[in-house]
Amino acid sequence: MKVKIGNNIYDSDNEPLMLIFDNDNQRKTVAKHLTDMEDKEGVRKYAIFDNNISDNEIKKFMEI
């Protein structure tokens, strides 16, 4: 698994990664989003953004 933060990509093969949730509701929400992701080839990215970020900024960020 890899995590992208800003312009840096971290790979769990090279260093441990940890997700820290503020509460159980947040953890359950993310788990549900991942469970409900479309089961289709190539759909392997999940990102979380503030509501003030534009669609164009999100698309640019998600390009690797």
- pLDDT value at position 64? 73
Model-level pTM? 0.75
- State how far the Cα of 28 lies from the Cα of 16, in Å rounded to an integer: 22
- State how far the Cα of 43 lies from the Cα of 37, in Å rounded to an integer: 8
* Bridge partners for 2 per DSSP: 11
- pLDDT value at position 42? 76
CA 46 to chain centre: 4
- pLDDT value at position 19? 94
- State how far the Cα of 54 lies from the Cα of 12, in Å rounded to an integer: 29
- pLDDT value at position 10? 96
- Low-confidence residues in the chain, pLDDT < 50: none
In 1-54, alpha helices (H):
24-35
Question: Would you kindly state where each structural domain of the chain is located, as residue ranges?
Answer: 2-62
* Closest to 47 measured CA to CA, from 28, 62, 25: 62
